[in-house]
Amino acid sequence: MAVESVIKQNNLAFRRISLGEVEWETTPSTEQLQKLEKQLNELGFEFVDDKRSRLINQVKTRIVELIHYSDELPKVNLSAILAEELHHDYGYLSKLFSEVEGSTIEKYFIDQRIERVKELLAYGEMNLNEIADHMGYSSVAHLSAQFKKVTGLTPTHFKSIGIQRRRPLDKV
């Protein structure tokens, strides 16, 4: 909504706005894009305009959508989902992601999963067995081991100290 508001304030025509992406009716001028970038940066948004960065952003957006906005994780491999939806070989996506981000897609996926687990623990509506099942872990032991590896804490200890240890999604 914030991005849409800024675009409308600048009287720029767009077809649609979705998480991390704007489809323009007509391409804005360089001057308009620079003004838009400045305004979006002031609101804490990053303006991405090159193809490699857009592709990385699409990978991140799709992972966030899968982890945080889906009722349940798909049963197919993340690599198959990304390759099919982004129309690129997963090897290419993986190499590009690692070059640009200095980390792997798998690590980003795990970090997002752990952030979602933290959120579910903070809500307190599910027990650890239910969370492990909901998040696609093979067992509570696997979830606990991965959680401790990423956070340095067990899920139970994390729950006891509260939500202050969660990071915003854009900082993961």
Q: What is the pLDDT at residue 171?
A: 64
Backbone phi, psi, residue 17, to 5°: -130, 125
Q: What is the pLDDT at residue 164?
A: 58
Q: What is the pLDDT at residue 132?
A: 92
Structure tokens at 115: 């952030």
Tens digits of residue pLDDT in 98-155: 988 899 999 999 999 999 999 999 888 899 999 999 998 999 999 999 999 999 999 9
Residue pair 60/104 in contact (Cβ under 8 Å)? The answer is no
User: Strand pairing partners for 17?
Assistant: 22
Q: Which residues contact 143 (CB under 8 A, 6 or more apart)?
A: 117, 128, 131, 132, 135, 137, 155
3-class SS at 126? coil
Residue pair 63/112 in contact (Cβ under 8 Å)? The answer is yes
> If we measure between CA atoms, which residue out of 65, 57, 98, 95 comes closest to residue 81?
65
Q: What is the pLDDT at residue 48?
A: 63
The tally of CA atoms less than 13 A away on the side-chain side of residue 35 is 12
Distance, CA of 101 to CA of 59 (rounded, Å): 12
Distance, CA of 150 to CA of 17 (rounded, Å): 33
Distance, CA of 30 to CA of 35 (rounded, Å): 9
* Res. 19: pLDDT tops 60: yes
Which residue ranges does the chain devote to CATH 1.10.10.60? 52-171
Tens digits of residue pLDDT in 21-34: 777 888 778 788 88
Architecture field, domain 52-171: Orthogonal Bundle (1.10)
Residue pair 14/7 in contact (Cβ under 8 Å)? The answer is yes
Q: What is the pLDDT at residue 172?
A: 60
Distance, CA of 72 to CA of 152 (rounded, Å): 26
Tens digits of residue pLDDT in 58-87: 999 999 999 988 877 777 789 999 999 999
